[in-house]
Amino acid sequence: MSEDARAALTQRLRTLDEQVLRLHDQHQGLVAAAAGSNSDDEHDPEGSTLAFERQQVAATIEGLQRARGDVVRALAALDDGTYGRCEVCGSPIPAERLEARPGARTCVSCASRRR
């Protein structure tokens, strides 16, 4: 399992890095578009659209970076032999959960209690 998990986590990390890079480029394009115009976010209908798009891209980047952190932690857990164990109760995390969320740090039961 650990080599399959490492391959899946490494691929997920690569995918996240690519997505973040693309979104950074998109964000820079939105910033440049706003800088090159005389739009006033408050009064120009296009200005509010650009501001919304910038914030949406920034929020997506933030979410991807959190997911990346989860994957990096999961790779470290593989190295120290704790991958696949719930960080709260110590029970095994079901393979189906790890397949759906390779960076999962808790079992389903503990995850639902944290909400």
Residue-by-residue DSSP string for 41-109: TTT-HHHHHHHHHHHHHHHHHHHHHHHHHHHHHHHHHHHHT-TTB-TTT-PBPPHHHHHH-TT--S-HH
Residue 60: pLDDT band with limits 50, 70, 90: very high
User: Mean pLDDT for the chain?
Assistant: 87
**pLDDT (tens digit, 9 = 90+) per residue, 65-74?**
999 999 999 9
Q: What is the rounded average pLDDT of the residues 51-63?
A: 91
Statement: residue 45 has pLDDT above 80:
no
Q: What percent of the chain has pLDDT over 90?
A: 63
How do the domains of the chain map onto residue ranges? Answer: 2-83, 84-115
Statement: residue 36 has pLDDT above 70:
no
